[in-house]
Amino acid sequence: MIKKISEKTLFEGKWLVLKAAQMKKGDFYWDWEFIQRKNNRHAVVIIPKLIPSNRYLLIKEYRAAIDSFVIAFPAGLSEGDKIENEALRELEEESGYIGVVKSVSPILNTSPAISSSTFQAVFVEIDENLLENRKPIQKLENSESIEAILIEPEKISDFFSEMRKKGVAISSAVWYFFQKF
132, 89: one domain? yes
Residue 34 and residue 111 in contact, taking contact as beta carbons nearer than 8 Å = no
pLDDT confidence tier of residue 80, bands split at 50, 70 and 90: confident
30, 88: one domain? no
- What CA–CA distance (Å, rounded) separates 66 from 116? 20
Residue 181 pLDDT exceeds 60: no
Task: List, for residues 116-174, the tens digit of each pLDDT value.
Answer: 899 999 999 999 999 999 999 999 988 888 999 999 999 999 999 999 999 999 999 99
E strand segments, 15-78: 16-25, 28-37, 42-51, 56-63, 68-72, 75-77
Confidence at residue 4, expressed as pLDDT on a 0 to 100 scale: 96
81, 8: one domain? no
Task: List, for residues 11-69, the tens digit of each pLDDT value.
Answer: 999 989 999 999 999 999 999 999 998 876 689 999 999 999 999 999 999 999 999 99
Confidence at residue 39, expressed as pLDDT on a 0 to 100 scale: 78
3-state helix vs strand vs coil in the chain, percent to 5: 20, 45, 35
Confidence at residue 50, expressed as pLDDT on a 0 to 100 scale: 98
64, 27: one domain? no
Confidence at residue 51, expressed as pLDDT on a 0 to 100 scale: 98
Burial of 172 (0-12, 13-18, 19+ CB in 10 A): exposed
Task: List, for residues 86-125, the tens digit of each pLDDT value.
Answer: 999 999 999 999 999 999 999 999 899 999 899 999 999 9
Confidence at residue 123, expressed as pLDDT on a 0 to 100 scale: 98
The total of structural domains in the chain comes to: 2
132, 165: one domain? yes
Domain containing residue 66: 42-178
